[in-house]
Structure 1
Amino acid sequence: MTAPWLLLTGFEPFAGDALNPSWELARQLDGERLGTWTLRSSCLPCSFDAAASTLRRALADAPSAVVCLGLAGARAALSVERVAVNLVDARIPDNDGAQPTDQAVVTGAPAAYFSRLPVKAMVHAAQQVGVPAELSLSAGSFVCNQVFYSLLHALRRRPRVPAGFVHVPWASGMGADPGAASAIPLDDQLRGLRAMLACVVAGGPDRRDIGGTIS
């Protein structure tokens, strides 16, 4: 029997940034062991044309679970996404200069998919190790959401594979505004992500905490 492994993806730097914390996190976790599981990391281009195809190639190796990471610079916590929507509506261009508007991620596919991760347990686990974490109902309509939706659509016939998306904030000392109040030190983010990924590989049921929003 093949040993279980978790595919962890992050994005290349965007729009002239020197670094992208989503990839720095994934890169530093590459090769780590969580019990019998191994983490393997892959870097995705911040490109509507190339991101989904790069992800599909990584999925061809049949990971046992998948967690994709992306940057949400205005957020001040690790944000576990709950819903991927079949919509691309780019407010700004991607790294290739493409700016699609009001398009489907996959034509004719469902309007949305729910995350297949234990989202509330992951938030709780990060909080328990002292790292800010939250649930999110919107991954946006840029490349992050496209990857999230493409992931769940690609795995629609493999319903037992846990899969989903986590947005991360800036890491202190990284990005255009390294002093941003929303930034969290990279070591803290790593600690929170390790706790989250431990929940994924444990395979238990999600928590029943209240996690909804009014608006």
Structure 2
Amino acid sequence: IMASKKKIVVTGFEPFAEHAVNSSWVAVQELERLGLGEAVDLYVCEVPVEYQAVQSLLPSLWKEHQPQLVVHVGVSGLATTVTLEQCGHNKGYKRLDNCSFCPASQCCMETGPDCIKSILDMDTICKRVNDSHTGITVSVSKDAGRYLCDYTYYTSLYLGKGRAAFVHVPPLEKPYSGQDLGRGLKAVIQEMLNLLEGSCSEEEQRETEHRHDKP
């Protein structure tokens, strides 16, 4: 039986503040050019740096594409490595977006938990990518910065029940080129898929075992 293709959505952000070219979108476009192989149906899109746009775009991405995984990529002027974010935060959104807006409540979801973790163990992914000598250094963070990156990540974790990931990339040439970032992103997402596949097959095994219990 042909396994159906895995549907993966990967997003980057539009330019904002001092980031006249947003390296996250450059990296995502490079990833699209490289592809994730025959078994993966990859959909990419550019996300506006606006809270309200994120609120309307993300539910439609999850609903329309029914992805197994959504990976958001954002730029961080502080990053010098490709940084895997483990969790998204609900509160603390005071910084104004590209429309000079911020949520009155300063949070994502009025009734949501303070923090939602990805079901993916970023430490494992980080170690595997660093051990594979791609020439790109990966690190892990637990603070996505309380701006649109964090806001988007939390929203996706909430909508996707943890089946989301966030990757911060440095600005271009600090130290990586767009091509480097695309390669790094591909390596990271492939490890994410390996990890997801591992946890899925464990669930399937358990289900199969249970079916045998029944007379």
Q: For the structure 1 residues 122 and 149, does the alpha-carbon distance in structure 2 shift closer, same or farther, using more than 3 Å as the test?
A: same
Which sections of structure 1, spanning at least 5 residues, go unmatched? Answer: 173-181, 206-215
Matched, 1:194 2:186: yes
- Partners of 1:125 and 1:192 within 8 A in 2: no
Letter in 2 for 1:45: P
- Among candidates 52, 75, 78, match of residue 74 of structure 1: 78
Letter in 1 for 2:117: F
Q: For the structure 1 residues 90 and 103, does the alpha-carbon distance in structure 2 shift closer, same or farther, using more than 3 Å as the test?
A: closer
Could you say what the CA RMSD is over the residues aligned between the two structures, in angstroms? 2.0
Q: Which has the higher helix share?
A: 2
Matched, 1:184 2:187: no
2:198 aligned counterpart, secondary structure: coil
In 2: Cα distance, 1:33 partner to 1:99 partner:
35
TM-score, with normalisation over the residues of structure 1? 0.81
Residue 17 of structure 1: CA displacement?
Answer: 3.8
In 1: Cα distance, 2:176 partner to 2:52 partner:
31
1:204 aligned counterpart, secondary structure: helix
1:9 aligned counterpart, secondary structure: strand
Deviations 1:149-189 (A, max 9, x none): 00011123xx6xx31111111111xxxxxxxxx43222222
Deviations 1:50-96 (A, max 9, x none): 113212211112012111111111110011001111114234x2111
Name the structure 1 match of 2:88: 84
- Partners of 1:83 and 1:113 within 8 A in 2: yes
- Partners of 1:20 and 1:71 within 8 A in 2: yes
Identity among equivalent positions (%) equals: 27
Name the structure 2 match of 1:141: 146
Residue 125 of structure 1: CA displacement?
Answer: 3.5
- Partners of 2:13 and 2:48 within 8 A in 1: yes
Letter in 2 for 1:191: R
Structure whose alpha-carbon radius of gyration is higher: 2
Aligned length: 191
Higher mean C-alpha deviation, range 8-17 or range 137-146: 8-17
In 2: Cα distance, 1:133 partner to 1:125 partner:
10
- Partners of 2:30 and 2:178 within 8 A in 1: no
Matched, 1:204 2:198: yes
Name the structure 1 match of 2:204: none
Letter in 1 for 2:13: F
2:54 aligned counterpart, secondary structure: helix
Q: For the structure 1 residues 149 and 120, does the alpha-carbon distance in structure 2 shift closer, same or farther, using more than 3 Å as the test?
A: same
Segments of 4+ moved more than 3 angstroms? 99-102
Residue 20 of structure 1: CA displacement?
Answer: 0.7
- Partners of 1:88 and 1:146 within 8 A in 2: no
